[in-house]
Amino acid sequence: MKAALVPVERIERQILLIRGQKVLLDSQLAELYGVATANLVRAMKRNIDRFPEDFMFQLSREEFADLRCHFGTSSAWGGRRYPPYAFTEHGVAMLSSVLRSQRAIQVNIEIMRAFSRLRHLLASHAELAAKIARLERKYDSQFKVVFDALRALMEPPDPQQPKSRIGFLSERK
């Protein structure tokens, strides 16, 4: 089997959840494809009829600001001056037909594998939740604490909840 141009794990780490959809940003895709972000966006805009809103959307200014805060990306001078485009799995598949390079085809195969693997992981997570629910119904309330703890561990972190700071406080006199 031929080695992948881009490891699936690297792609999986770049997939973001925005507006309830798993997406890759235009700059991430451009890096994976080995093209400039401006060229990728230009190719997409030349073929805009291939990219309905469920395939691709541009982030709002607020979403872009949140993304900058979250990842600590560049500020006023340098970096992007407009919100990025986010491509869903279908939008990424459409990009390979727009870019028409051998690398784009190979990278797209790896991206599709990454999305597929994430779907499989989410499905197994749902199976685990169903098994825990069946076990909870089967056993009496003495295991309620265990089941509550398992359910709490399976919950994704709440992005609205402020994170506690890490470090030590010094007492100054």
CATH number of the domain bearing residue 14: 3.10.260
Instruction: Please report the pLDDT score of residue 43 as a whole number.
Output: 92
Residue type, 52: P
Q: How confident is the model at residue 52 (pLDDT cuts 50, 70, 90)?
A: very high
Provide the pLDDT for residue 40.
92
Residue reference for tokens 């190979």: 106
What is the torsion angle, in degrees rounded to the nearest 10, for the CA atoms of residue 26, residue 30, residue 102 and residue 118? -60
Q: What is the pLDDT of residues 151-170, one digit of tens each?
A: 777 777 776 777 667 777 77
pLDDT of residue 77: 45
Residues of the domain holding 81: 8-121
Residue 19 lies in a domain: yes
Structurally, how many domains does the chain consist of?
A: 1
| 114-126 tens-digit pLDDT | 888 877 777 777 7
Which residues are paired to 48 by β-bridges?
none
In a domain, 41, yes or no: yes
**136 to 87, 127, 139: CA distances (angstroms):** 40, 14, 5
Higher pLDDT, 68 or 18: 18
Contact predicate 41/77, CB 8 Å: no
What's the confidence (pLDDT) of residue 87? 94
